[in-house]
Structure 1
Amino acid sequence: MVQHPRAADAQAPAASLPEEMSGAARTERARAMRARLLAAARDVFERDGFLDARVTDISAAAGVAHGSFYTYYRSKTDVFRALIAATMDELYASLGGAADGTQPGSQPLDPVDGIDRANRRFVAMYRENTALMALFEQVTTFDPEVRALRHAARERMVGRVRHSIERFQSAGLVAADLDTEYSAHALVAMVNGLVHYWLVLGGDFDQERLVHTMTRLWAQSLGLPAPR
C-alpha cells in the first residue's frame, strides 16, 4: 500500500528571493540552488528510497534551511519529477540520437556503427542512473505525472528512432514498405527492456555480448548488414 507523504513534505508557500538582487543575479542564484537541491535529492532518494525520503533530509544534504526548499519545489514529489524529467530526456536522447548514423559536427557514421554507438551510450547512461531508474519504475505505479513523464520521454525516443529508420529508407538501405512507427516501438522496447532487466532486476548478462546482440538484432531487423 502506498504511503502518503509526511506532513513535513506537504506543499508549503514559497518564499521570495532577496529583493535587492538584480534580475540576472536572482536567475543565476535560482538556477544554482535548483541544481544543488536536485543533486541532494538524488542522493537522498537513492539512499532512502522515494517513500522514506523527506524534504528535511534533502534540505540538510543540500546545506540549506528547510524552508528554502519550498522556494524552488513544492514537495518531494515535485523535486523527484524534476529530477526524473532531466534524466529521462538525457537517457532516451542517447538511444535515438546516434541511431541514424550521424553525429553533430562530424562525418556520417556507417549505419550499423551508429546503432552500435547509440546502444553503448544508452547502456553507459543507464548504468550511471540504475538506482534512479529503479525508483522511477516504482513511482510510476502511483504518480500520474511521473507516469506521463515516462510516456512523453518514451514517445520522443521512439520518434528519434522512427526518424532514423525513415532516413535509412530514403537512402535505400531499408525496405520502403517497413512500418517505421511499429518498428521503432519494437526496437526501443527491446533495448530498454533488456537493459532494465540486466541492471535493475539483476539479469546475468555480459555487457559486450549484450550490446553486440542488441546491435545485431536492430540492424538485421531493418535489413542492414550484421555488425562486424
Structure 2
Amino acid sequence: MADEATRRSGMSRAEQKAATRARLVAAAGELFAERDYGDVTIADLAAHAGVAHGLLFHHFSNKEGLYRAVLDAVVTEMDSAFTAPADGDAPAIIRAALTTHLSYLATHRGVALKLIVGRRHADPTAAEVSDRSRGRALSALAALVDVDADNPVIQFVGATLVAAFDEATHFWLHTSDPFPVDALVTSLLELAVGALQGARSLDGCPDVDDAIATLRVAAHGSRSDA
C-alpha cells in the first residue's frame, strides 16, 4: 500500500519522508509560535500537520525533538544572514546581515521571542539552540571586523552586545510603534561601536581602531561620514 501511495504521488520514498518532515516542522512552528511548549500536545501537532501520531514519533522520537527541529530551522535561517563571501565588502555585509536578521525576526515573531526569552527562563532547549546561534554570529562578525574572537576582551564585548541586542530586540518586537528596521540597524551598530570603545580601558584589549571604523561605515555608509 505504501508503494502504491508512493507511485500515485510521483515522489520517491525519500522525497515523501522529507516532505512529511518539513510539513511537521512548519506546522509545529506555527503552534509553538502561538503557545508555550507545555500547552502544545502531540495530538495538536499531528492534527495541525494532518498526519498520524505515529509519523511524528517516527521522524522526531518525541515532542522535544520536534521543538528542537523548529528552533534549529529558525536558527539556520537566521544564521544564513551572517554567511558572507570571503572577498565581500565587510561594512555592506554587516549591515545587510543585521537587516535580514531583524526582518526575519519581525516576520517570525513568536519563535523569535522564544529564542530570546528562552535564554533567561526555564527553556533549556531554546537556550542551547539560541546560544549556539549567537556563538556562530559573533564569530562571523569578529571575522568581518578582523578581531580575534578568542581574545577575552573581545569575548566580553560579544557578551555585552548579545545582552544589549536581546533586550533591544525584545523591546522592539513588543512595542506598538516599532522603529523602522533601517534605523534600528544603525542604532545597534552604534551600540557595537560604543562597546568596542569602552573595551579600550580593559587590560589585554587588542587594537580595535579598524573594527570601529568598519562598524561606523556599516552604520553610516562612508568612511568620510564616520
* Alpha-carbon displacement from aligned partner over 1:195-224 (angstroms, at most 9, x marks no partner): 22211x437542232222223343574331
Is contact 2:21-2:59 (8 Å) kept? yes
Q: Does 1:70 align with 2:57?
A: yes
CA deviation after TM superposition for structure 1 residue 155, in Å: 1.4
Q: Could you tell me which residue of structure 2 aligns to residue 155 of structure 1?
A: 135
Q: Could you tell me which residue of structure 2 aligns to residue 210 of structure 1?
A: 184
CA deviation after TM superposition for structure 1 residue 68, in Å: 2.3
Is contact 2:33-2:109 (8 Å) kept? no
Would you tell me which structure has more helix in proportion to its own residues? 2
Q: Write the distance in 2 (CA, Å) between the matches of 1:138 and 1:119.
A: 20
Query: Alpha carbons of 1:145 and 1:210: their partners in 2 closer, same or farther (altered >3 Å)?
Result: closer
Return 5+ residue gaps in structure 1 as ranges: 1-16, 171-176
TM-score (normalizing by structure 2): 0.70
Is contact 2:95-2:185 (8 Å) kept? yes
Partner SS, residue 114 of structure 1: helix
1:13-52 alignment runs, 5 A limit = 25-52=12-39
Return 5+ residue gaps in structure 2 as ranges: 197-210, 222-226
Stretch deviating more after TM superposition (144-153 or 74-83): 144-153
CA deviation after TM superposition for structure 1 residue 193, in Å: 3.2
* Alpha-carbon displacement from aligned partner over 1:24-47 (angstroms, at most 9, x marks no partner): 933222111110011111122223
Q: Does 1:144 align with 2:124?
A: yes
- The CA RMSD over aligned residues, in Å, is 3.3
Q: 1:60 aligns with which of 9, 34, 47?
A: 47
TM-score (normalizing by structure 1): 0.69
Q: Which amino acid counterpart does residue 216 of structure 1 have in structure 2?
A: E
Partner SS, residue 193 of structure 1: helix
Q: Which amino acid counterpart does residue 183 of structure 1 have in structure 2?
A: V
Partner SS, residue 37 of structure 2: coil
CA deviation after TM superposition for structure 1 residue 84, in Å: 0.2
CA deviation after TM superposition for structure 1 residue 116, in Å: 1.8
CA deviation after TM superposition for structure 1 residue 19, in Å: 8.1
Is contact 2:29-2:70 (8 Å) kept? yes
Alignment size in residue pairs = 194
